[in-house]
Amino acid sequence: MKWFNLFLFAACGSLAGQSITSVEYPDGSPIPLKEASAALGFSIPVKLSFFIPDSAAAGLSRLLNASGYLDHKIELKTLQTDSSSYKLLVNINPGPEATLRSLKITGEGVDSMLNGVRGLSFIEGSTYNEGEMSALFAEILDHLEELGFPFARLTIGSITTTYSPDSSSLFADVSVTLDRSRQAVISKIEISGNEGTSPDVILREINVKAGDIYRPGKSSLITARLNKLRFFEPVPVPEFYFNEKDEGILKITVKETNTNNFDGVIGYIPPGQNEETGYLTGLVNISMRNLFGTGRNFSFKWQQLSRNSQELDLSYTEPWLLGLPLSITPRLYQRKQDTLYVDRVIELSAEYFAGENFSLALNFSSRSVIPTLFERPVFTVFNSTITTGGIGLRYDTRDDPISPTGGINFFSYFAISNKKINGPAEFITQGQQLQLNLRKITFDLDLYFEVFSRNIAAFGVSVREIQGDLLEDSDLFRLGDNSTLRGYREEQFRGNRVAWTNLEYRFLLTRRSYLFAFFDTGYYLLSGDNNRGIVEATAVKTGYGFGMSFETGIGLLSVSYALASGEGFSDGKIHFGIINQF
């Protein structure tokens, strides 16, 4: 193969102080002039004494070869333009652009192993181009990695060129040798750092066992699966190597976080105007997210919200029921709402994980709403029993459930409820409908995007709606808190339809701690009911501010300072909350 011929005509005399100040291509160039000049390997001006013709011609020749001009000629000539300046004339005879006639890959098991490499179907017959060849080789090696041959190598044996009989066309035949090396079979799985978590919990979650073929693409899936457990600090990518016995070792290293916590807070609210005594507020939160290292989850929460309002929430999760990717969660929830009513829910939820990112949820619950009895009858809500069945779908690609840097979290839920009115008898009028059907719709979508290193943009939109002929206060959705609309009082707004958006810009201090600025919008609609004297109310609200979130044993603690639209800085509200807890 003839790569280039070099001719250099230099003026006689001393080269000291003389420079090449320009480059010209009298016959043009088959490749862009800017790329051709860069391939020469120097910048104008260059001292004539520093100019190395062989090196410049070789650089340009490599570029021409890579572009398919495999039988080119190059002539370099320097001409003096004045006493201290020269110009470089670059004459290129590119010859015909080569066509890749054949690509022959040889090696053990080539025919079966390269099935599915799409690029092989298009490369032959195309113009010879080293960039496209490199991309094809990368595709082949990626394909072999997924087949369990991460140490495979491709070696170009020869590139031969042949002209057509009339010398008008040039063809290239490339011979490549494939050495697939040994297959990466996992002989052992070594787990370190799991001081309290059973190895069986980790092994069932990663869905990899001894005897499996190691595929690098699965490493990121293993990391994502373990991070979703929220038992560990961010898990690094597992290592694979062969030990001195030639055994394939998959090594998984974790570092446990504190998953069992007891938190208690007590406070005293002094009497307000027209009040004789103050009252106590408090919070008791017991969280065991990895009970006895088995992956089971137990939580107990009691909170005194105000003088007459309190919540009780008790739940337990049994994962991998009967060895299936199925979790079951029974739950008891009770809320005393001021002096109006008690809302009690007994619930059973099941979630089936149908793949890496999809899960299907079923929910059944029985709910009782019990109005407070007064000496003189006052209507608050009906005494009712509500039986609900619902189905939900989740799609979750977040790289970390606590502090994502990328991915999507989508959840939609639809439920049908049968509401039976039991009393009070004195408020049930003639013709009152005692059996009602309610429909509930839930929609959540969260998007996360890493703008650049440690800077994350997060956007979320949520919609809630309940439909039915008779909606009471206990049926309505609440809007206004740390997880919905910030800048307003807790549960300040209520409606049968609510929606909100959250836009945050985050700066990561650590992997799971960050500063953030936010802008929230909220919408609510309370439909009117002339028969019950309810006036329709609707509004759109906005809030904005800044805050900090940092990881604790019971979840991500978020503290923010928020302002409602139109408020001054001194009117802002401080929000505390645990997010991404369960």
User: What local confidence, expressed as pLDDT, does residue 409 receive?
Assistant: 95
**All structural domains of the chain:** 19-93 (3.10.20.310), 98-179 (3.10.20.310), 188-253 (3.10.20.310), 260-579 (2.40.160.50)
User: What local confidence, expressed as pLDDT, does residue 281 receive?
Assistant: 74
Contact partners, residue 350, CB within 8 Å, separation at least 6: 326, 327, 328, 329, 361, 362, 363
User: What local confidence, expressed as pLDDT, does residue 6 receive?
Assistant: 46
Q: How many residues does the chain have?
A: 582
Q: Is the peptide bond before 325 cis (omega within 30 degrees of 0)?
A: no
Report which of 31, 175, 154 is spatially closest to residue 90, judged by C-alpha positions: 31
Report which of 68, 65, 61, 60 is spatially closest to residue 39, judged by C-alpha positions: 60
Report which of 257, 259, 312, 318 is spatially closest to residue 283, judged by C-alpha positions: 312
Report the predicted TM-score, pTM, of the whole model to 2 decimal places. Answer: 0.69
User: What local confidence, expressed as pLDDT, does residue 11 receive?
Assistant: 42
Tens of each residue's pLDDT in the chain, 582 residues: 444 444 444 443 444 568 999 999 999 999 999 999 999 999 999 998 889 999 999 999 999 999 999 999 999 999 989 888 999 999 999 999 999 999 999 998 888 888 888 888 889 999 999 999 999 999 999 899 888 888 899 999 999 999 999 989 999 999 999 998 888 999 999 999 998 899 999 999 888 889 898 888 788 889 988 988 888 888 999 999 899 888 999 999 999 988 877 777 676 667 767 777 777 777 788 888 888 889 999 999 988 877 778 899 999 999 999 889 999 999 999 988 877 889 999 999 999 998 888 999 999 999 999 887 766 777 778 889 999 999 999 999 998 888 899 999 999 999 999 999 888 878 887 777 888 899 999 999 999 999 999 999 999 999 999 998 888 888 899 998 888 899 888 888 999 999 999 999 999 998 888 999 999 999 999 988 777 778 889 999 999 999 998 876 556 778 889 998 888 887 788 877 665 433
Q: Where are the beta strands (DSSP E) in 152-278?
A: 153-163, 170-179, 188-192, 239-242, 248-253, 260-269
For the sheet with 153-163, list strands across it: 98-106, 170-179, 153-163
| Helix (H) or strand (E) segment spanning residue 487 | none
Given a contact cutoff of 8 angstroms between Cβ atoms, the answer to whether 523 and 499 are in contact is yes
Q: Mind spelling out the 3-state secondary structure of 329-361?
A: EEEEEEEEECCCEEEEEEEEEEEEECCCCEEEE
What's the distance, CA 24 to chain centroid? 51
d(CA 259, CA 271): 38
Residue 550 structure tokens:
């940092």
User: What local confidence, expressed as pLDDT, does residue 580 receive?
Assistant: 44
Residue 390 structure tokens:
């619902």
User: What local confidence, expressed as pLDDT, does residue 538 receive?
Assistant: 94
Q: Which residues pair with 282 in a beta bridge?
A: 266, 304
Burial class (CB in 10 A: 0-12, 13-18, 19+), 484: buried
User: What local confidence, expressed as pLDDT, does residue 582 receive?
Assistant: 33
Residue 510 structure tokens:
């650590």
User: What local confidence, expressed as pLDDT, does residue 479 receive?
Assistant: 92
Angle at 65 between CA 125 and CA 31, to 5 degrees: 95
Residue 294 structure tokens:
């088995």
